[in-house]
Structure 1
Amino acid sequence: MTIRSLIYSALLILSPQVLANPTAITNVKGYHIIPDGGLQQFDTLVFEQGKVLANGNAELLKRYPNATVVDGQGQTLLPGLTDAHGHLLGLGENLMQVDLRGLPSEKAAVAKVKSYQASNPSLNWIVGRGWNQVLWPGKAFPTASQLDEFIPDKPVWLERVDGHAAWVNSKALQLAGIGKDTLDPPGGQIIRDDKGNPTGVLIDNAMWLVAEHLPKSDAAMMQASLKAAIEHLLSLGITSMHDAGVDQKTYDFYQQQAKDGQLQVRIYGMLSAADPKLKEMLEAGPFQDTEDMLWVRSVKAFADGALGSRGAAMLEAYSDDTHNHGLLLTSEEDLPALFELVLGKGFQLNVHAIGDRGNRLVLDNFAQAYDKVGGQSFRNRIEHAQVVSLEDIPRFKDLNIIASMQPVHATSDMNMAEDRIGKERLKGAYAWQTFLKQGTVLAAGSDFPVELANAFHGLHAAVTRQDHEGKPPGGWIPAERLSVEQALRAFTLDAAYAAHQEKVLGNLESGKWADFILIDRNIFEVPNTEIWQTQVLQTWIAGQQQFQRAE
């Protein structure tokens, strides 16, 4: 045994308190939101055994003379960011698949798929995500034939950027038995040519016709996806995320990972309402591990589809497709029983609703369920709440519904939203400031991997409503912009509130977990147009550094 190891062993035996000495990070520009006082600044943060002891000025160091002092070198310090709506394993899988995000044409997408297939010849399926026909010349949906030219003998599955449509080749259609006579499933649509033949694009519930044939995730794949996703989120300063739709397999996997101490990002899991074992999972009751790395006490359900694929359920037909009112992914007849089941078991219910009809149905069902089984105090949420009738917006406040919204959706959708729904319906669309002014809690996220997981892109979108090139000048529907303080609150304290976690997360008050980040610029001082360029230098969770950006 070396002299160093002997000394270390002696310290462990004789002086365990040495290891419990607090740590103080000083010389920082610290910011967090406190519930009744708004934005608070500090230059020193003291924590011990994973929890915050105090924050304030450098005088704090006199109160903790035994603290290990870390010089923050004038960097900006924020609470760890929370993404209130994402898909963790989906992100990990996406990081290992062909990424078609932002490509300017169908031809470019096909070329990237071809290159990916050539680099991965052993794969039985070619799987990817991110295409968006709105960015392409003509804005038309792609077809199977374009993939068939280069990949005729392996099935191809490519999800649209919003996850509400799939582009497949003929081999995949063949494997699923989809032909001219195949009926559209409820809540889904098989896009067809003028002769009735499937073109290769499947909308919403029609996706399952092929998805059920995809290779099933095994334990090794889930582990790899989790590792890739966590590493990515830590590099972006995201210390907590709300996982929107956890099936039983993932539910069991997360619990085991938490028990084994393998989670490095906090997960607030929403059980999938579509899982056949939903009742069984509800009967098991809420789950919360002792380190607050995993909470499960909510359910994620779907009302409708997405705007980009014209699957969002609208009260009136789409402006650019006058015979189409969108899709309900859960039938109107099935909604009441679902609401009563979830709320009756004491779980928070978080429902995906994008179109104005989808949002109205969800609000109606919350009102009816409250009368029958209660649950109004559960902080129930509408996920996305993108297009809401002006007369329905006040009902969010009346029914105590949290608006769980993703700022980057507005800047991604602004190039097509008016085409889809016209100028009049935009008055209730992406209405962040309108919700806040009436007292509705706004929880912010990204919906990764639909969008990039970078929360600073979300903060930028929230305060500018512009793309990264500063377009449009002044911002898209600028009256709905947020202040930097409002946006930070939505990504920290109010995101924690939306998960019933505001007493342990969301800011850096005494007694809460010491989850924080150091970043390369002061988002309260730089021009708002530069916020998206922010780089995370360090990420700390429970007082332990989990990420350090390379020099």
Structure 2
Amino acid sequence: MKKLLTIFVLTLILSCQKEKQQVDTIVINANVYTVNSNFDKAEAFAIKDGKFFKIGTTKDIQNNFVADTIIDAKGQAVFPGFIDAHCHFYGMGMNLQTVDLTGTTSFEEVMKRVLDYQNERNTSFIIGRGWDQNDWEDKNFPNKKLLDALFPNTPIALTRIDGHALLCNQAALDLANITKDTKIDGGEVVLENGELTGVLIDNPMELVYNIFPKPTRQLQIEGLMDAQEICASLGLTTVSDAGLDRNVIELIDSLQQTGDLQMRVYGMVSNTKENLDYYLPKGKIKTEKLNVQSVKVYADGALGSRGAALKTPYADAENHFGAMVIGLEDFETLAKRLEAANYQMNTHAIGDSANSFVLKTYDKTLQGKTDRRWRVEHAQIITDNDFEYFKNENILPSIQPTHATSDMYWAEDRLGAERIKGAYAYKTLLESSGKVALGTDFPIEQVSPFLTFYAAVARQDLEQFPEGGFQIADGLTREETLKGMTIWAAYSNFEENEKGSIEVGKFADFIILDHDIMTTDLINIPITKVEQTFIDGVKQ
């Protein structure tokens, strides 16, 4: 009888226990930063069908769920997958197939890399990118003379790091029909003593780009897959590619549909007649991995090549103002067309003159509209009262903190002591707008989001220069920076309801780090490693 009673009690207890629910994956013993509206912390979560299913304590998750995959984070920091709000994903991939000139410290080193590349590849057209004369002892633009002597018959085109200047040899100039008499608005064919130097600024560069050999589909695929590997290794799960043509967007979509490309892409359509005529009548295109509902527009050039459009002359170039690369009437007409099509307008604006015009046009075009989220890409130099325009809920700043720490050595030379105060003013932009979307602009800067985080908070280079930080009053807090790399970046892409935080129902995109970037010493942030990256709950 006693034995029967024991069996009855055990049966009753077991029958009262709640049956655990089957999910795909559970993560336990983690230091989870959810980045939800309360910036809550958690210890564990369950994933089902590629989305966060339940978030809570380790005990709660273990008591209620079972899964074939159990990840014990062992106290490590877990964050939502990082979103790069402004980069050139496809461009970086294609750059990896050409001469890499990043980090060169002299024109001689540029030439050595070109020679080494050609000795290995023996291509019919040499293409490269990454030089920056500001990093050389001689900070003047290079000249094509040595290229002409070494490669009299092989065309060469070497793009500056920022994509706003191009060095060509005579063979490339001849193919593009560029002479010393060539004049194109929105840029410059640089001459010296009345002769071609081989340097082109902004719009004239297109004449050379138009004669580039077309990459094969296989080369494009290799580029995209190489870019994905690098990005995933650094914790990026979404990239906002700032300027893509239709053929690349369709290739990305096809690779995502087959499962080869897992990276989520917010694709900004490049501003060409062909692209706009195709996409605007179609409206927004949205899948779980691809989002096309914006157009990337260029207002001006770059500060490093003195192409940024300024209200008053450059401090280091008498009577030189830079230039707009789009006509003012053309820009206003385009803004009206994009507004009518319900497309987001994302405009590159560096100089204070360009920013002022873009902001005023946005403000005027969006009168009476709501939730349009038109972005000013870079918003690099703002003067007078133009910060006030960012109080318009329809206008967002999209900024790249590593630009500040890359440019800080020479930016004041370009701008002067007074105008520099409104440059790289990220805290001021945040206070005006309420949100900032953070990116890298890679491959102009390095891909690493940890360098973004470090530059935003410390405002220093990796040698902790300058002491106290560059214009540190415009630095961001760690919480603000993390939001800018996750939920605010998602918001800038109209995707805050599906990603950017660890919350029930959102895509299970998350990363596990070896350092807690929210608490570790600042000097550890640039060397932080990604232990694992997950997209849809699947390890990449």
TM-score range, shorter-chain basis?
over 0.9
Equivalent position of 2:146 in the other structure? 146
The one-character-per-residue Cα deviations of 1:321-374 (angstroms, maximum 9, x if unpaired) are 122111111111211110000111011111111110101111111122124xx5
| Cα deviation, residue 146, structure 1 | 2.3
SS of structure 2 residue aligned to 1:34:
coil
Matched, 1:336 2:347: no
Moved more, 431-440 or 105-114: 431-440
After TM superposition, the score normalised by the length of structure 1 is 0.92
In 1, the alpha carbon distance for the partners of 2:64 and 2:242 equals 41
In 2, the alpha carbon distance for the partners of 1:19 and 1:280 equals 47
Equivalent position of 2:42 in the other structure? 42
| Cα deviation, residue 126, structure 1 | 1.2
SS of structure 2 residue aligned to 1:367:
helix
What is the letter of the counterpart of residue 465 of structure 1?
R
The one-character-per-residue Cα deviations of 1:23-51 (angstroms, maximum 9, x if unpaired) are 1111222213112x2x3222212111100
Equivalent position of 1:488 in the other structure? 482
Equivalent position of 1:189 in the other structure? 188
Equivalent position of 1:230 in the other structure? 228
Equivalent position of 2:94 in the other structure? 93
What is the letter of the counterpart of residue 304 of structure 1?
D
Q: For structure 2, which runs of at least 5 residues remain unmatched after alignment?
A: 1-19
Equivalent position of 2:70 in the other structure? 69
Matches for 1:140-539 after TM superposition, within 5 Å: 140-183=140-183, 185-194=184-193, 196-289=194-287, 292-371=288-367, 375-398=369-392, 400-539=394-533
What is the letter of the counterpart of residue 523 of structure 2?
T
The one-character-per-residue Cα deviations of 1:56-104 (angstroms, maximum 9, x if unpaired) are 2212224434234221122221110000001111010112222111211
What is the letter of the counterpart of residue 90 of structure 1?
G
| Cα deviation, residue 263, structure 1 | 2.5
SS of structure 1 residue aligned to 2:23:
coil
In 2, the alpha carbon distance for the partners of 1:259 and 1:537 equals 27
Change (3 A) 1:220 1:388: same
Moved more, 357-366 or 141-150: 141-150
SS of structure 1 residue aligned to 2:35:
strand
In 1, the alpha carbon distance for the partners of 2:385 and 2:203 equals 30
In 2, the alpha carbon distance for the partners of 1:399 and 1:363 equals 12
| Cα deviation, residue 433, structure 1 | 0.7
Change (3 A) 1:146 1:64: farther
In 2, the alpha carbon distance for the partners of 1:438 and 1:414 equals 23
Change (3 A) 1:62 1:176: closer
| Cα deviation, residue 124, structure 1 | 1.1
SS of structure 1 residue aligned to 2:397:
strand
After TM superposition, the score normalised by the length of structure 2 is 0.93
SS of structure 2 residue aligned to 1:359:
helix
Choose which of 18, 27, 31 in structure 1 pairs with 2:33.
Answer: 31
Q: Contact (CA 8 Å) 2:85, 2:489: kept in 1 or not? A: yes
In 1, the alpha carbon distance for the partners of 2:263 and 2:82 equals 11
What is the letter of the counterpart of residue 43 of structure 1?
E
In 1, the alpha carbon distance for the partners of 2:225 and 2:412 equals 39
**Structure index of larger Rg:** 2
SS of structure 2 residue aligned to 1:166:
strand
Matched, 1:540 2:540: no
In 2, the alpha carbon distance for the partners of 1:115 and 1:88 equals 26
The one-character-per-residue Cα deviations of 1:174-227 (angstroms, maximum 9, x if unpaired) are 2222222222x1111011111x11101110001112111111123212211111
Moved more, 505-514 or 64-73: 64-73
* RMSD (Å) for aligned C-alpha atoms: 1.7
Equivalent position of 2:13 in the other structure? none
Equivalent position of 1:7 in the other structure? none
What is the letter of the counterpart of residue 55 of structure 1?
I
In 2, the alpha carbon distance for the partners of 1:91 and 1:397 equals 34
Q: For structure 1, which runs of at least 5 residues remain unmatched after alignment?
A: 1-17, 547-551
| Cα deviation, residue 255, structure 1 | 2.9
Equivalent position of 1:11 in the other structure? none
What is the letter of the counterpart of residue 139 of structure 1?
K
What is the letter of the counterpart of residue 339 of structure 2?
L
In 2, the alpha carbon distance for the partners of 1:33 and 1:302 equals 32
In 1, the alpha carbon distance for the partners of 2:327 and 2:239 equals 29
In 2, the alpha carbon distance for the partners of 1:85 and 1:202 equals 25
Q: Contact (CA 8 Å) 2:21, 2:65: kept in 1 or not? A: no
Q: Contact (CA 8 Å) 1:248, 1:275: kept in 2 or not? A: no
| Cα deviation, residue 162, structure 1 | 0.3
What is the letter of the counterpart of residue 401 of structure 2?
P
SS of structure 1 residue aligned to 2:29:
strand
SS of structure 2 residue aligned to 1:59:
helix
Change (3 A) 1:55 1:200: same
SS of structure 2 residue aligned to 1:377:
coil
Equivalent position of 1:3 in the other structure? none
In 2, the alpha carbon distance for the partners of 1:23 and 1:200 equals 57
In 2, the alpha carbon distance for the partners of 1:424 and 1:440 equals 25
Q: Contact (CA 8 Å) 1:346, 1:375: kept in 2 or not? A: no
Q: Contact (CA 8 Å) 2:399, 2:436: kept in 1 or not? A: yes
In 1, the alpha carbon distance for the partners of 2:291 and 2:22 equals 27
Equivalent position of 2:119 in the other structure? 118
In 2, the alpha carbon distance for the partners of 1:143 and 1:545 equals 48
In 1, the alpha carbon distance for the partners of 2:443 and 2:56 equals 37
Q: Contact (CA 8 Å) 1:274, 1:301: kept in 2 or not? A: no
| Cα deviation, residue 535, structure 1 | 1.1
Question: What percentage of residue pairs aligned between the two structures are identical?
Answer: 40
